[in-house]
Chain A
């Protein structure tokens, strides 16, 4: 069975490592990108689109919100589940991200358990993975 794939998009290598650790624990195969543009470039070269993307908001070159809008406007990528993972915690920003097409929103700092819970709500966690 082909493992599910998750794209971790954050300009912080440290945060990418944390997120990668979590999704790998959930049996995802992880792909990393340092900003939205790099992520889109990687996606353009992929034959199979990852099931999940964890996306920071504030990044150089292309921010997370722009990335979400680009993905949502591309029919090839429409099945991707998009989760914003960011310090942008104002209500107005959350509304903007969800309106642009993000499925979920996780505010930093987050615990591993909280992240897994969010992914479980999206149906992306195998039963018992958080135990």
Chain B
């Protein structure tokens, strides 16, 4: 099936803002400051895959410090109480929330996978035959955080078929 993806940077930025408001920065004092630098480094990442009417991945990537801070905020813990499991659970849920909201903007028939978390840098090698089509890149209290959308090349091939 051929689809025109209508989810752009502004849509992702709006979702990110909602996630920050709900879980990571409910007081509104430390928003994600956009850098627009898609090459910023990451140390950990999580993703969900979407299949069906559109195929691709939504990836949440950040430094370990930002991931730890996210877990502390999400789980209402002190930074020094955060475990690796807390980081993993939080990153998975963040990818799930953004992925679910992206899915809602796609044509009917899209399905969302359960999240996958990798405590290692994001790498395009992890998503073969995909291209990054959109993303929000920024610093959260000085630490890199990004949310990006990768489209499977099968979508492109189908469009040309």
Contact = CB atoms under 8 A, between A and B. Distances in A.
Given A109-B18, A109-B19, A17 B75 contact: yes
A121 interface: no
A88 B100 contact: yes
Interface string A65-94: 000000000000000000000111110100
Contacts of A18: 23, 74-75
Q: Which of B99, B100, B101 has the most CB of A within 10 A?
A: B100
Contact of A90 (B22, B85, B92, B104): B104
A89 B101 CA distance: 7
Interface residues of A, number: 21
Contacts of A21: 76
B103 interface: yes
Contact of A89 (B21, B86, B104): B104
Given A109-B19, A111-B26, A11 B100 contact: no
B89 to A, nearest CB: 4
Nearest to A113: B26
A86 B114 contact: no
B97 interface: yes
Contacts of B74: 14, 18
A11 B23 CA distance: 18
B90 interface: yes
A88 B106 CA distance: 12
Interface in B16-39: 18-19, 21-23, 26
Nearest to B112: A58
A58 B95 CA distance: 13
Contacts of B108: 90, 92
A17 B73 CA distance: 12
Q: Which of A108, A109, A111, A112 has the most CB of B within 10 A?
A: A109
Contacts of A87: 96-97, 99-101, 103-104, 112
Contacts of B19: 109
A88 to B, nearest CB: 6
13 contacts: A13-B89, A14-B74, A15-B93, A58-B96, A58-B114, A87-B96, A87-B100, A87-B103, A88-B100, A88-B104, A108-B97, A109-B19, A109-B22
Interface of B: 18-19, 21-23, 26, 71, 74-76, 85-86, 89-90, 92-93, 96-97, 99-101, 103-104, 108, 112, 114
The list of the 5 closest CB pairs from A to B, nearest first, reads A87-B100, A109-B22, A14-B89, A89-B104, A12-B93
Given A12-B93, A58-B114, 7 more contacts: A11-B114, A13-B89, A14-B75, A15-B93, A60-B114, A86-B100, A90-B104
